[in-house]
Amino acid sequence: MSRYFVRRILATIPLMFIISIFVFMFIHLIPGDPARTIAGLDAEEWQVEAIREEYGLNKPIVTQYVDYMVKLFHGDMGESMKSFTPVSELIAERMPQTLKLVFAGVLWAPILGIFIGVMSAIKQGKIFDHVCMLIAITGLSAPGFWLGLMGIQIFSVQLGWLPSGGLDSWKGFILPSFTMGCGIMAVLARYSRSSMLETLREDYVRTARAKGQKESLVMFSHAFRNSLIQVVTILGLQIGGLLSGSVLTETVFSIPGMGRLLTDSIQFRDYAAVQGLLMLFALQYVLINLVVDLLYGVINPKIRLD
């Protein structure tokens, strides 16, 4: 029973290992001499040398990696090159905002998306289906940040109902959460519709009807449950999308979260902060996917009992 779970958890270890190499290599992938890039073009040679020394860039690359990992396991992501505070502190300060934002999106978008998709499949070919799918493809195609800006224009500037930025009150959450969730709702609506349509063609749905089961229960306890198993497989990808969507949403609504920190750090060439943030984003994403995969194992007996 637990073999799948153990295997799945163990599989994240090599993945995290490769990701850590990738993120570590980040500084070395910058074209040219990284120390020179960090120091700036007009820096003196001794300054560049000092930076090389400080970041250990003059040591062999394997030693550098080992040092980096040892520090990382102690929660040390280096020091910001801009504010000279530890990166871990910077991130810890910003993280709650991003998590709140992601949570505000996760709370409604997947549920509404799956609901719309399943209902569309049941009412396939009817007006309801067409309208829902039109909404879904619109949500999929509209840039989230544009929707957010238009939301600000209408609800903050014109009507003055909602704040244009910040997450200070519940009202502040409405527009950002809408901006974040729109895309994932659309994707899930489309995906769960096609998955439900596929399930409705299955033999066991016919069996349930042949038993004399009510149509609503045929849909719910036979078709829906099985189509959900497929939907869950893409849920991780979508929640990960929320995470990266936070970069744009935070910019639109001037929310000081991890996404803003990332774009600011890139602009200031604060590579230590960028490195730390990328590591953390990837880690979060891998963890989300792990949780979703474990959930998949729980609801799919074929995997659980294998």
Partner 1 sequence: MADIQKNEQQQNTAFESNYIDENIKADQSSKAKAFVKKFLKRKTAVLGLIIIVLLIIIAIIGPYIAPYQYDAYDYANALQGPSAEHLFGTDHYGRDIFSRMLVGARLTLGVSLSAVIVGAALGTVLGLLAGYYGGIIETLVMRGSDVLFSFPDILLAIAIVAILGPGIINVLIAVMVFTIPSFARIMRSATLAVKGSLYVEVAQSLGCKDSRLLFVHIFPGTIQSLIVNFTMRIGSAIMAAASLSFLGFGANVTEPEWGAMLSQGRNYIGIASHMVYFPGLVIFLTVLAFNLFGDGLRDTLDPKIK
Partner 2 sequence: MVQERLLTVNKLRTEFFQSKKSSVTAINEISFHLDKGEILGLVGESGCGKSVTSLSIMRLLNFTSGKVTKGEVIFDGEDLQKISENEMRKIRGGKMSMIFQEPMSSLNPAMRIDKQMIEGIRLHTNMSKEEARKHASKMLSQVGIPDPERVLKNYPHQLSGGMSQRVMIAMAMSCNPQMLIADEPTTALDVTIQAQILELMKKIQQEEGMSILLITHDLGVVAEMCTRVIVMYAGEIVEEAPVEELFNHPTHPYTEGLIASVPKLGSGVKVLPSIPGSVPDLSMLPKGCRFAPRCKYATERCRNEEPDLFQISANQKCRCWRQER
Site residues (vs partner 2, CB under 8 A): 200, 202-204, 206-215, 221-222, 225-226, 229, 299-302, 305
- SS3 label, residue 18: helix
Minimum gap (Å) between residue 142 Cβ and partner 1: 5
Q: Which stretch binds partner 1 (CB under 8 A): 77-85, 88-96, 148-156, 296-304?
A: 148-156
212 binding partner (options partner 2, partner 1, none; Cβ < 5 to 8 Å by kind): partner 2
213 binding partner (options partner 2, partner 1, none; Cβ < 5 to 8 Å by kind): partner 2
Contact between 243 and partner 1 by CB under 8 A: the answer reads yes
Interatomic CA distance for residues 287 and 298, integer angstroms? 17
CA angle 99, 101, 102 (to 5 degrees): 65
Strand partners, 79: 86
* Residue 49 · residue 244 · CB < 8 Å: no
231 binding partner (options partner 1, partner 2, none; Cβ < 5 to 8 Å by kind): none
Q: Which residues from 4-63 bind partner 1, rule CB under 8 A?
A: 14-15, 18-19, 22, 26, 29-31
Pick from 234, 251, 290, 303: which binds partner 1 (CB under 8 A)? 251
DSSP state of 63: H
Minimum gap (Å) between residue 6 Cβ and partner 1: 19
Contact between 135 and partner 1 by CB under 8 A: the answer reads no
Interatomic CA distance for residues 67 and 227, integer angstroms? 47
Helix or strand run (H / E) with residue 295 = helix 271-299
Question: 271-299 vs 3-29: helix axis angle to the nearest 10?
Answer: 160
Q: Report the chain's C-alpha Rg in angstroms.
A: 24
Interatomic CA distance for residues 223 and 99, integer angstroms? 34
Minimum gap (Å) between residue 5 Cβ and partner 2: 17
47 binding partner (options partner 1, partner 2, none; Cβ < 5 to 8 Å by kind): none
Tally of CB atoms within 10 A around 29: 8
Q: Which stretch binds partner 1 (CB under 8 A): 203-211, 220-228, 259-267, 297-305?
A: 259-267
Interatomic CA distance for residues 184 and 182, integer angstroms? 6
Binding-site size, partner 1 (CB under 8 A): 42
Interatomic CA distance for residues 257 and 251, integer angstroms? 9
Pick from 112, 205, 229, 286: which binds partner 1 (CB under 8 A)? 286
Tokens at residue 137, please? 């493809």
Contacting residues toward partner 1, per CB under 8 A: 14-15, 18-19, 22, 26, 29-31, 137-138, 140-143, 145-146, 149-150, 152-153, 157, 237, 240-241, 243-245, 247-248, 251-252, 262-263, 266-267, 274, 278, 281-282, 285-286
